[in-house]
Amino acid sequence: MDRLKAMQVFVAVVEGGSLSAAAAAMDLSRPVVTRCVAELEAWTGARLLHRSTRRLTLAAAGEALLPACRRMIELADGMHAAVAAPGAALSGQIRLTASHSLGQTQLAPAVAAFVERHPGVSVDLVMADRTVNLVEERIDLAIRIAVELDPNLIARRLCDCHSIVCASPAWLAAQGMPRHPAELAGRNCLTHSYFGKSVWRFHGPDDAPQAVAVGGNLSANDAMTLLAAARAGAGIAMLPVVLAAPALAAGELVPLLEGWTPQLAGVYAVYASRRHMLPALRALLDFLVERFAGDPAWGRWPTARAG
């Protein structure tokens, strides 16, 4: 038995959630995946997975073995990278996904700069305003904005993502300027379907947390749509500063709640597995960390500073 391959298959089964997902991710047949898991169980002398017609879960022995398998796979990948030809040009295709707003405003320019630097690499951008299953859709890397990620995901934080609460001058002239987060409860708030749908959280001048229930007559699963609605005078929106900055600078939107800082989110690069990661994908990860972390556009809007 190729024990390293069996470990790779076992980790792929756990991360994909099924034998079929692992087979698709590793380009193997389902019987081969089943045999690899069975051989690993025979070698360890313990059942690693509980299988049923509806779901697959880790047995106690599988939970204990999983971290060791991941370490062995990373060690093997590191050995392969260590003997790779120095200075060899990067090549290969990377499937990359993000929301439409993030993809259009930030990711597309970053990818354009990366492939210009590495012409042997091609990137397939998949824009989707939903949580994509990386294994089933064969995605190498997902860029997501979130306050918290599933701890089972493998992710690398690219940078902080600061938000700002804002509205158009016309809406404020008609409805009045809110001064405290509690006042948002009675206002028309434009909410994101997946981020702060019903509750917005803040830290105040004394760093005390504040949560307020919000709602309104318009929600969307895309931040650019909420930006357009806020500019049109539909209500109050909480938006990433990186998206709202041009409208704020032009006076099309007005920042609200000075002294109150919206809950901080992060920009993450999420990937299904560390095993057999292409050198091009590792290079893209490093490139995005450097580019996003060094971009002041992701910082706070000046008038939204706390204190």
Say which residue, 278 or 226, is predicted with more confidence: 226
Average pLDDT value for residue range 205-220: 88
Q: How far is the C-alpha of 56 from the C-alpha of 197, rounded, in Å?
A: 32
The tokens for 5 are 């391959």
Average pLDDT value for residue range 211-239: 94
- 117-137: pLDDT as tens digits: 999 999 999 988 777 777 777
pLDDT greater than 70 at residue 290: yes
- 82-106: pLDDT as tens digits: 555 555 678 888 989 999 888 888 8
Say what the pLDDT of residue 1 is.
62
pTM: 0.69
Report percent pLDDT > 70 for the chain.
Answer: 92
- 53-80: pLDDT as tens digits: 667 888 999 999 998 888 888 777 666 6
- Which stretch of 66-70, 275-279, 302-306 has the lowest confidence by average pLDDT? 302-306
Average pLDDT value for residue range 2-7: 88
| Contacts within 8 Å (CB) and 24+ apart, 113-118 | 113/287, 113/291, 114/283, 114/284, 114/287, 117/287, 118/89, 118/90, 118/280, 118/283
307 pLDDT tier (thresholds 50, 70, 90): very low
Average pLDDT value for residue range 190-209: 85
CA terminus-to-terminus distance, the chain: 63
Domains plus CATH for the chain?
3-79 (1.10.10.10), 92-160+266-295 (3.40.190.10), 163-263 (3.40.190.290)
CB 183 within 8 A of CB 236: no
Average pLDDT of the chain? 86
- 135-150: pLDDT as tens digits: 777 788 999 998 887 7
